[in-house]
Amino acid sequence: MKNISIILFLVFAMLSGCKKENDRAFDQTPEQRLTASLKKYQDLLEGASNGWKAVVQTDSGRGLSYGFYFKFDNRNRVTMYSDFEPGSASTPKESSYRLKALQQVSLLFDTYSYIHVLADPDPRVAGGEVGNGYGVDFEFFFDGGNSRDTINMIGIKNGSKARFIRATKEEADAYNSGNLSNSIKFPELYNSIFTYWKSVTINGVNYQVIVSSDSRSVVINWIGSNGQPQTFTSSFYYTSLGIEFYDALINGTVVIKGFSNFSLNAADGSINVIANNTTTSLKGIANPIYVDINAAKRWWDFSVAEDDFWFSSNGFHVNGIDDAFGIGNLPGFSGLFYGANYVTLPTGQGDALLFSGQYGPIMSSPPEFTVNGRIIIKNSGFRYVEPAGTPTNPINNTRNKMNDPVGYYLVQTGPNSYDMVVASPSNATSWITWIF
Amino acid sequence: MKFIKKFILYSVMYVSVISCGKEDDLGEVGDIPGLGGDTWARTYIDTYITDSLTKPFNVAVKYKWDPHEVSNQYILRDFVPPKEEVVIPLLSSLKNVWATPYIAETDSLFFKTYAPKFFTLYGSAIYNPANNTRVLGIAEGGKKINLLEVNTFKTVQMAGYKATDSVQLKMAFHTVHHEAAHILHQTVLYPAEYRRLSAGKYTTNWVNDTDEDARTDGFITAYSKQDPNEDFVEMVSMLLTEGEEGFKNLLDSINRVSPVGMTPNQARSVLRQKETIVVNYFKTVWDIDFYSLQRRVRIATKSYIYP
């Protein structure tokens, strides 16, 4: 009996196996689907007759954004520009690429080009980190959410996020005219406005704009229609027409994707830009539109909590001059450090302002935090004595600036970076950037 | 009994697959993407490799990015593919400083038998920041050589050559001679007395030494201190790339007593004994006149350094 039932079952299985022939999850074999997928992406990439403007954001989308332009052909060749330096922004470079079926369909830039410069583990090439470069990928798999005009990809090795956006003819022509090398001069133009606070007016709303070129990030604040302050942060990269935000700012019908077609307005020193498809100007303002009143305390508390220093590579920026006090010329200078609640003095606690992490004045701790968000730092009178022969002007000028009686506003420009700006309209041309 | 039932089961399944399968087009099996290797539109570089290395010597060269050609221990490191413009200058000079001299001293059969068959090129070195080392070449199983940091390769014939570029250039030649020599001693080992010349001085701490330090201890380079095999192939490679005179200059430059008390003359003596073993090994095992090979390699090497 048992034997019979087994045989019956087998026969049934055999028949149903045949009947199900056209009822598979997919109509085609894996190989057919893979081949179709490879062809689909190949057609997509080479089908963009004006090429692709692209952004690669390192560290799974938390790091810096770098802008590229790619034009793919049907013979495994790609021509590119990158926004990393003037040469790569103005001179096209041809190299090879291929689409390959790895675990997913992937795009490999398989001989060296501008994108590899940012992945080069040799610091002599582009100054990246030894053994790691800037953490940019050159092998990507295609991520979801792709359309005819946008391709999202993820870096296989380091998890960079890449986004390709189909370029317009205007953009492509501008790349091929070397205009990307003009765009990367935006920080120069931006810094030609000496006041820290800057704004653009779009559709009657004033937007406070803070661009940090080192970290390629932008912070925009405005007062919403509900009267509440709004904050937008994004990393940015350069395109042939200007700077473009990784995420777009959306405020009702206003969509700010970046600033393009910028030029200096010689008459009043402002910068003409196109934003939200309208011409406007970026101009200096003496008073901030918005200050994060908790930022100063947050900045100070972070150093205490981490038991470590804030770092500035070149000290104060004053009236358009980086390192206005020349601290970079101090012998063996390795940076300016601020350690909150760092030392115990006979008179109480002290914050240390250390040049090269070794010598400098000690400030009274904690500093004063005002209700409107200022930090006021006072000298304790104590100091870590500098080595004999060290010039004292850079030290004393920096100390006096830190002790500005008006105090400072802090602006958070990234997860671990703040700008500290003198909180008076007349001196809002002085600031220092702290990173952790 | 059970066994037979199972047997029946399998045969039924087999039959059913065949009978159902007849309606499928099995031809798709031949269209697995990437089966048979990567393909791309060929360029002049691919043509050069085929005509100059693959056809005459059965040597394949992969220059397009494939991180899986390096051994597993390095796969997670960050490194990059080579620049296309260095591929042909590099390969043609390697052919002249390595393949041509060996073939002149032996024959193309020897070269085809013992030469590494597969080169992969990478633009940068593989870095190990933990101990401040970087890998410039890897040889595997007597078959494959990974050449790294080729992007800075520049010969005197190339635009913008500076005298300091010779360091990188000789490093590339050195790497190939080094890795090729590994294959020779992995095939027939050198005499055991070689190991005894520096017994007790081999150490993985060589990373802390300069080449000059190592020479005071009777090693031709710091890396020679790693183990006797590396010592042997470093000797072969340095003798070939530096030439007889260059080797003598290196010995003459030893001018201080080593940390373990070896005098310059003792160090020179050890290095000369190592040289002798190398020369005898090439003669007895491979029937190669090493000094003649050395002269040929050196002449070819100089042609890429001096205008």
Distance from CA of A61 to the nearest CA of B (A): 19
CA distance from start to end of chain A: 79
Per DSSP, the residues of A236-254 read EEE-SSEEEEEEEEEETTE
A419 in B contact zone (CB under 8 Å): no
Mean per-residue pLDDT, A354-374: 95
CA distance from start to end of chain B: 85
- Beta bridge partners, A433, equal A419
Residue B235 in tokens:
């000797």
Contact A401, A430 (CB under 8 A): yes
Residue A22 in tokens:
């056209």
Helix axes B264-286, B290-303, angle to 10 degrees: 110
Residues of A in contact with B125 (CB under 8 A): 121-122
Q: What angle do CA A133, A139, A145 make, to 5 degrees?
A: 120
Report the predicted TM-score, pTM, of the whole model to 2 decimal places.
0.83
Contact A432, A312 (CB under 8 A): yes
Q: CB-hemisphere CA count at 13 Å for B249?
A: 6
In A242-291 the beta strands, taken as DSSP E runs, fall at: 242-251, 254-265, 270-275, 278-284
Residues of A in contact with B80 (CB under 8 A): 112, 116, 119-121, 138
Cβ B128–A116 below 8 Å, yes or no? no
Cβ B33–A32 below 8 Å, yes or no? no
In terms of pLDDT, which residue wins out, A33 or B34?
A33
Distance from CA of A241 to the nearest CA of B (A): 29
Q: CB-hemisphere CA count at 13 Å for A123?
A: 9
Residues of B in contact with A123 (CB under 8 A): none
Identify the pLDDT of residue B2. Answer: 29
Give the burial class of A13: count Cβ atoms within 10 A of its Cβ; 0-12 exposed, 13-18 middle, 19 or more buried: middle
- Nearest beta carbon to residue B32 from set A13, A14, A31: A31
Quickly state the pLDDT bin for A34 (edges 50, 70, 90): confident
Residues of A in contact with B127 (CB under 8 A): 121-122, 130-132
Cβ B31–A120 below 8 Å, yes or no? no
Q: Residue B84: what are its φ and ψ, rounded to 5°? A: -60, -35
Which of B65, B79, B135, B148 is the best mutation test for A, with the most CBs of A within 10 A? B65
Cβ B12–A14 below 8 Å, yes or no? yes
pLDDT in tens, A250-306: 999 999 999 999 999 999 999 999 999 999 999 999 999 999 999 999 999 999 999
Give the per-residue SS3 of chain B.
CHHHHHHHHHHHHHHHHHHHHCCCCHHHHHHCCCCCCCCCCCCHHHHHHHHHHHHHHCCEEECCCCHHHCCHHHCCCCCCCCCHHHHHHHHHHHHHHHHHHHHHHCCHHHHHHHCCCEEEECCCCEEECCCCEEECEEEECCCEEEECCCCCCCCCCCCCCCCCHHHHHHHHHHHHHHHHHHHHHHHCCCCCHHHHHCCCCCCHHHHHCCHHHHHHCCCCCHHHHCCHHHHHHHHHHHHHHHHHHHHHHHHHCCCCCCCCCCCHHHHHHHHHHHHHHHHHHHHHHHCCCHHHHHHHHHHHHHHCCCC
* Residue A154, pLDDT above cutoff 60: yes
* Residue B16, pLDDT above cutoff 70: no
Give the burial class of B200: count Cβ atoms within 10 A of its Cβ; 0-12 exposed, 13-18 middle, 19 or more buried: exposed
pLDDT in tens, A305-324: 999 999 999 999 999 999 99
Cα–Cα distance measured from residue A122 to residue A124, given in angstroms and rounded to the nearest whole number: 5
Identify the pLDDT of residue B142. Answer: 65
Residue A357 in tokens:
């992490």
Identify the pLDDT of residue B23. Answer: 42
Mean per-residue pLDDT, A9-36: 62
A34 in B contact zone (CB under 8 Å): yes
Cβ A139–B80 below 8 Å, yes or no? no
Quickly state the pLDDT bin for A388 (edges 50, 70, 90): very high
- Nearest beta carbon to residue B81 from set A10, A14, A110: A110
State whether residue A312 is helix, strand or coil.
Answer: strand
Cβ B28–A31 below 8 Å, yes or no? yes
Residues of A in contact with B43 (CB under 8 A): 96
Which of A2, A3, A72, A96 is the best mutation test for B, with the most CBs of B within 10 A? A96
| Location of structure tokens 């003669």 | B283
B126 in A contact zone (CB under 8 Å): yes
Contact B49, B58 (CB under 8 A): no
Identify the pLDDT of residue B141. Answer: 65
Lowest mean pLDDT among A219-228, B25-34, B44-53: B25-34
* Residue A24, pLDDT above cutoff 70: no
* Residue B131, pLDDT above cutoff 90: no
State whether residue A324 is helix, strand or coil.
Answer: coil
State whether residue A422 is helix, strand or coil.
Answer: strand
Mean per-residue pLDDT, A76-81: 97
* Residue B27, pLDDT above cutoff 70: no
Helix axes B165-187, B228-252, angle to 10 degrees: 140
| Location of structure tokens 């008179």 | A347
B23 in A contact zone (CB under 8 Å): yes
B260 in A contact zone (CB under 8 Å): no
Helix axes A2-19, B2-21, angle to 10 degrees: 20
B41 in A contact zone (CB under 8 Å): yes
- Nearest beta carbon to residue B124 from set A38, A108, A121: A121
Residue A384 in tokens:
């870590």
Residues of B in contact with A11 (CB under 8 A): 12
Among all residues of chain A, which has the CA nearest to that of B16? A14
Mean per-residue pLDDT, A346-367: 94
pLDDT in tens, A210-244: 999 988 999 999 999 999 999 999 999 999 999 99
Mean per-residue pLDDT, B267-271: 96
Interface size A-B, in CB pairs within 8 Å, comes to 107
**Number of other CB atoms surrounding residue B99 within 10 Å:** 21
Cα–Cα distance measured from residue A266 to residue A319, given in angstroms and rounded to the nearest whole number: 18
**pLDDT averaged over every residue in chain A:** 91
| Location of structure tokens 């606690």 | A349
* Residue B6, pLDDT above cutoff 70: no
Mean per-residue pLDDT, B225-250: 94
**pLDDT averaged over every residue in chain B:** 85
Q: Residue A105: what are its φ and ψ, rounded to 5°? A: -65, 130
Cβ A32–B28 below 8 Å, yes or no? yes
Cα–Cα distance measured from residue A103 to residue A139, given in angstroms and rounded to the nearest whole number: 12
Residue A421 in tokens:
């700006």
- CA-to-CA separations, A284 to A184, A423, A432, in angstroms, rounded: 20, 15, 17
Residues of B in contact with A21 (CB under 8 A): 20, 23
Cα–Cα distance measured from residue B82 to residue B152, given in angstroms and rounded to the nearest whole number: 10
Contact A161, A61 (CB under 8 A): yes
Cα–Cα distance measured from residue B43 to residue A96, given in angstroms and rounded to the nearest whole number: 10
Cβ B82–A112 below 8 Å, yes or no? yes
Identify the pLDDT of residue A22. Answer: 57
Cα–Cα distance measured from residue B251 to residue B243, given in angstroms and rounded to the nearest whole number: 12
**Number of other CB atoms surrounding residue B106 within 10 Å:** 17
Cβ A120–B23 below 8 Å, yes or no? no
Cβ A10–B151 below 8 Å, yes or no? no
Residues 6+ positions from B53 with CB-CB distance below 8 Å: B59, B60, B61, B91, B95
Identify the pLDDT of residue B129. Answer: 79
Residues 6+ positions from B17 with CB-CB distance below 8 Å: none
Cα–Cα distance measured from residue A42 to residue B184, given in angstroms and rounded to the nearest whole number: 45
Among all residues of chain A, which has the CA nearest to that of B18? A18
A100 in B contact zone (CB under 8 Å): yes
- Nearest beta carbon to residue A111 from set B31, B77, B82: B82
pLDDT in tens, A45-72: 999 999 999 999 998 888 899 999 999 9
- Beta bridge partners, A272, equal A263, A281
Identify the pLDDT of residue A187. Answer: 94
Residues of B in contact with A108 (CB under 8 A): 65
B11 in A contact zone (CB under 8 Å): no
* Residue B22, pLDDT above cutoff 80: no
State whether residue A411 is helix, strand or coil.
Answer: strand
Quickly state the pLDDT bin for A201 (edges 50, 70, 90): very high
Q: Give the B window 70-109 contacts with A, CB below 8 Å.
A: 77-84
pLDDT in tens, B65-102: 999 888 888 888 899 999 999 999 999 999 999 999 99
